[in-house]
Amino acid sequence: MQVGFIGLGIMGREMAANLLKGGHTLVAHSRSGVPQALLDAGAVACASPREVANRADIIITMLPDTPDVEKVLFGENGVAQGLSAGKTVIDMSSISPVATREFAKRIEALGVHYLDAPVSGGQVGAANATLTIMVGGEEATFEAMLPLFQLMGQNINLIGGHGAGQMCKVANQIIVGLNIQAVAEALLLASAAGVDPERVRKALMGGFASSRVLEVHGQRMIDRNFEPGFRIELHHKDLGLALASAKDLDIPLPNTQNCQGLFEACMSSGGGQWDHSGLLRALEQQAGQEISTHKTN
C-alpha cells in the first residue's frame, strides 16, 4: 500500500519504521522534518500534509493534541485538500472523542473513510510493534486496515463507532495514571520507612499488586530514569480529556482529578518533558525526600 504518515515524534517515527519494514511504500511529513533513518529506509519526504494525502491511499496522523489534528486535517495545505474519494484517514493521536466525531463527519463527507485508532504502549511498544490499538469507526474499514495495524501492534480491537477508540484511550490513561501514582506512593512510603524500594518492587512483582506499571515504571523510579517514553505533558492532556468528558456526563472522577494535580505540579517544576513515571517527583517534593535504595533495614 502507498501509506502516508504525518507526525514523526517519539512514537510516530517508530510506527512509520515498522510500516516500512512491512513492505509498504511510505510518504511522510513532520514539522521537524522526516528523520534521516526513515529516509534511508525508503521513506519519501513531503512538503505538506496536502502532498501526503495526494500521494497516499491511506493517511495516518500521529500528533500531540486535538488542535494539531484539526490543523493538519483541515488547515491550509491540510490533508482534506489532498484527498479523493475512496482513500482512508486513520488518526492514531490521542485527542477529544467529541472532536473526533466531528472530524470523521467532515472527512467522510468527502467520500473518504475515517478511523480513530489511538494507541498505548509508549516508545517501547511502538519500536517493538506491540502497541495496543483502540479503534473507532466502521467495521468494514477496520477489517480492511487490520493488516496495517498488525504491523504496529498486537492487541487490536474495534471498540465501536467514531470516537469510541478515543474514549477507550481516555479510560486507558486514567488506569495508567492512577497506577503510576499508586506505585510512586508505595515506593516512597517504603523508602521513608527505611525499607529498600527495589526489594519491595521485586517482591510485589510476584503478587496480586504486580502490573506492567510496577514492572517498567517502578524500575524507572528506582533508577531515576525520567527520559521520556511518554511525556508528562501528554498524559496531563489526556487526563484533561477524561475530566472534560466526565464533566459533560456529570460523573465524578476524584482520583483522576488528584492524579492530574500531581502532573500539573510536575509541569510547574519544569517537568512537562519528563516521562510520566516522573510523577514520583511531585510526591517527593510534597514529602521533602526522595526514594533511595541505600537502606540499612
Three-class HEC string of 38-93: HHHCCCEECCCHHHHHHHCCEEEECCCCHHHHHHHHHCCCCHHHHCCCCCEEEECC
Is pLDDT at 295 greater than 70 in this prediction?
no
3-class secondary structure, 117:
coil
Q: pLDDT (tens digit, 9 = 90+) per residue, 64-79?
A: 999 999 999 999 999 9
Write the CATH number of the domain with boundaries 2-160.
Answer: 3.40.50.720
Instruction: Compare 203 and 297 and report the one with higher pLDDT.
Output: 203
Active site residue 169: yes
pLDDT score recorded for residue 297: 46
Tell me which residue has cell 517508530. Answer: 14
d(CA 159, CA 134): 6
CATH architecture assignment, domain 167-287:
Orthogonal Bundle (1.10)
pLDDT score recorded for residue 294: 60
Is pLDDT at 122 greater than 90 in this prediction?
no
Instruction: Calculate mean pLDDT across residues 78-98.
Output: 97
By the 8 A CB rule, do 30 and 12 touch?
A: yes
pLDDT score recorded for residue 292: 85
Instruction: Return the domain boundaries, the chain.
Output: 2-160, 167-287
3-class secondary structure, 1:
coil
246-274 burial, b for 16+ CB within 10 Å, e for fewer? beeeeeebeebeebbebbbbbbeeebbeb
pLDDT score recorded for residue 29: 98
d(CA 136, CA 228): 28
Give the chain's mean pLDDT.
96
Q: pLDDT (tens digit, 9 = 90+) per residue, 163-203?
A: 999 999 999 999 999 999 999 999 999 999 999 999 999 99
Q: pLDDT (tens digit, 9 = 90+) per residue, 231-276?
A: 999 999 999 999 999 999 999 999 999 999 999 999 999 999 999 9
d(CA 86, CA 21): 25
- Which of 71, 87, 105, 169 is an active site residue? 169
Instruction: Calculate mean pLDDT across residues 98-114.
Output: 97
Nearest alpha carbon to residue 41 among 63, 73, 8? 8
pTM over 0.85: yes
Q: pLDDT (tens digit, 9 = 90+) per residue, 209-243?
A: 999 999 999 999 999 999 998 999 999 999 999 99
